[in-house]
Chain A
Amino acid sequence: MTTSAPPGPHIEVRGLRRSYGTGTTAFEAVRGIDLVVEPGTVVALLGTNGAGKTSALEVVEGLAPPTDGEVRVLGLDPVADRAEVRRRTGVLLQTSGFPADLTVGETLRMWSATMTAPRPVEDALAELDLTDRVDVRVRSLSGGELRRLDLACTLLGEPEAVLLDEPTTGLDPESRRRVWDLVAGLRDRGCSVLLTTHHLEEAETLADRVAIMHAGRIVREGTPAQLGADHPSTIRFEGAAPAGLPDLARLPAARRVATDHGRTTIESHDLQATLTALLADAADGGVRLAGLEARSATLESVFLAVASGAHNDDRALEGADR
């Protein structure tokens, strides 16, 4: 069959760079990133605003040529092989763009008319719970409804590779769940999905792999569990280290001990070992640790560390550890 993708990744990005402007006003938004999305997997590109997620995604979408590097979608060049790539991919832009004076039904029919092999418009309306809104003008839709209409267009051609730029931004929790189910369904059908988000829960729930982007580079990449594992867990309690305890820095697997704002924080790369020893010490010394809490690293702590630039310190620490 000519339409089946060659074996290998659906989306492949190598050394991608993208610059805006020239001369002294030039700005490099994407500074050499690599990404691979295998069939039947979801990859989330996570990052703060301005990290370069959309700039990178627009190149994968074929809307802009790369300044340097290579992009392959379904084994093809999204700019040179535009017609073939577009037929087999579904794109959702960060901001939805539809004429305000068309109705939902007219918009989907217009989109359907541009496609080689669209599904029935009614099916798409039903899937995104828009059947009741078919005669409503786009200008009267809520943010969530507009996003669902946009997604209906994205998925109208049963794409093999799907590129979603912040698919759930502005959606209420119920709509967000619906979109998550939809994305999970795409993965189960063997589609590849590359999405950007700054919802950590979204990345944790949906993504098989997460790439965290900061200042144009991918600074962390892996499964959500791997990313967490790389990162220290934390133990906190109120007040400075009590007198009855031995030196906290000598606890097994403890990496860093700090006291500020009236709280003591111990970072650990083996939460159970550190915590067991701490509690044993506390029991021996008859010490009560007020407000004690212990947390494994979440994507959130990884992300916040990256966003605040702390990943450089972490890298240095990891290097020292080894």
Chain B
Amino acid sequence: MTTLSPARTLGLARANATLVVRNKLTLTYAVVIPLAPLLLLLVGDTGDGSNGAGAAAIVTALMMAALFPVFYNLLSQLVTRRDELVLKRLRTGESTDAEIITSLALPGFVIALATALVAVPVAMLLGQPAPLNPLLYAVTVVVTLLLFAAFALWTAAWTKNAEAAQITSMPVILLAVLGQVAIGFPDEVRRFTDLTPGAAMTDLVRVSWFGFGTDDVERTLDLAGTWSAAGQPLLVLVAWAAVAVYLARRSMRWEPRS
């Protein structure tokens, strides 16, 4: 990988942030949707998190942060900029390919990270416990966001235009949500759905923040226990990220599909 020039990347990211703010729909998707699930904390239990409602609200907020400001936003920015020939124009300048992509992802990435960060005091104010293993929580957030950014690059490669993104985004969105809705599925099915990125992320949040063991809604893990319980879902998440980055690198397009 090439190193990024901070000045170039931030200069481009600033322009991209301006564009996100200027488009009301984009801004709504990017900011409101990830923050809204935190409101669920108001109606869930306000005790020690012992019916899992708090965990569900936080998992949903993070998933929405990965899906909208990062995945969907990056996807639509990439496709729009590609069709406007902005990407091609930028590549005639000094910016490297990595800087161009990073600058496009950065505004949504910052919003998603802020959501993950804001979730901590908001949840604690509303009666949820503090994260048990903040480092593991942070790792979960970063790996998840990187994974969905890579999914956006790959999806953009076969998305005809910004409108088509409403359809082409569905496979990744379904893949993300499947893990969460599968909690009620029979065990034989869940053995497979546990391998989805959504399920792995859900497990990691429950483990890192709440110390829940498998399927428990009570804290059964200590700090050391969270690391060992995190092994498998972390592996699943990293494996998906590796696949997504590989696909994205292979399929990256800089000019409109003819």
Contacts and interface: CB of A to CB of B under 8 A. Distances in A.
Interface in B83-113: 84-96, 99
B94 A102 contact: no
B94 A87 contact: yes
A106 B89 contact: no
Contact of A97 (B84, B95, B99): B84
B12 A114 contact: yes
Given A93-B89, A97-B86, A100-B84, A113 B18 contact: no
A146 to B, nearest CB: 11
Interface residues of B, number: 26
B181 interface: no
Interface string B158-185: 0000000000000000000000000000
A180 interface: no
Contacts of A99: 15, 19, 81, 84, 86
A98 B84 contact: yes
The range of chain A's interface size is 20 to 34
B127 to A, nearest CB: 42
A142 interface: no
Contacts of B99: 114
Contacts, number: 76
Contact of B94 (A61, A83, A93, A98): A83
A64 B88 CA distance: 11
A102 B18 CA distance: 8
Contacts of B94: 83, 86-87, 114-116, 157
A268 B14 CA distance: 63
A102 B12 CA distance: 12
A268 to B, nearest CB: 46
Interface stretch (B3-11, B116-124, B139-147, B229-237): B3-11
Contacts of A116: 94
A83 B88 CA distance: 16
Contact of A110 (B15, B22, B96): B15
Contacts of A91: 92-93
A107 to B, nearest CB: 8
A163 to B, nearest CB: 8
B253 to A, nearest CB: 13
B228 interface: no
Contact of B11 (A61, A86, A102, A110): A110
A237 interface: no
Given A93-B89, A97-B89, A100-B84, A113 B11 contact: yes
Interface of B: 7-8, 10-12, 14-15, 18-19, 22-23, 81, 84-96, 99
24 contacts: A63-B88, A63-B91, A63-B92, A87-B94, A93-B92, A97-B90, A98-B86, A99-B19, A102-B15, A102-B19, A110-B11, A110-B14, A110-B15, A112-B11, A113-B7, A113-B8, A113-B11, A113-B14, A114-B8, A114-B11, A114-B94, A114-B95, A115-B94, A153-B93
Query: Which 7 residue pairs of A and B lie closest in terms of their CB atoms, listed nearest first?
Result: A113-B11, A97-B85, A97-B89, A91-B92, A110-B15, A97-B86, A114-B95
Given A101-B18, A109-B15, A153-B89, 15 more contacts: A61-B92, A63-B88, A86-B92, A86-B93, A87-B94, A91-B92, A91-B93, A93-B92, A95-B85, A97-B84, A98-B89, A99-B81, A113-B7, A114-B95, A150-B89
